[in-house]
């Protein structure tokens, strides 16, 4: 499980830096990470102040648009 999350981190990081395209895989990975963070925030208040960068949030908005459209 941790290895899979690490892969999602690499995919999103590489997409944000331009090392790989912002494709469906990158958008799906961003949503997985966002769901994982939301879960942690529900489980423990110590995670309440943690958020994604504005660039990562933009990927998340794109992913939600892809899911709706």
Measured at the CA of 60, the angle between CA 17 and CA 13, to 5 degrees, comes to: 25
Tally of CB atoms within 10 A around 22: 17
Domain boundaries, the chain: 2-68
Task: Identify the three-state secondary structure at position 63.
Answer: helix
Mind listing the pLDDT tens digit for each residue in 50-60? 999 999 988 87
What pTM was estimated for this model as a whole? 0.79
Q: Is the pLDDT of residue 66 over 80?
A: no
Q: Quote the tokens at residue 39.
A: 């879960």
For the chain, give the percent of residues with pLDDT over 70: 83
Mind listing the pLDDT tens digit for each residue in 5-14? 689 999 999 9
Task: Return the half-sphere exposure (C-beta side, CA atoms, 13 A cut-off) of residue 40.
Answer: 12
Mean pLDDT, all residues of the chain: 86
């Amino acid at each position: 499980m941790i290895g899979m999350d690490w892969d999602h981190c690499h995919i999103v990081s590489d997409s944000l830096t331009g090392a790989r395209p912002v494709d469906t895989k990158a958008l799906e990975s961003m949503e997985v990470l966002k769901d994982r963070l939301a879960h942690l925030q529900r489980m423990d208040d110590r995670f309440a102040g943690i958020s994604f960068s504005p660039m990562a949030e933009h990927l998340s908005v794109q992913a939600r648009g892809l899911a709706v459209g």
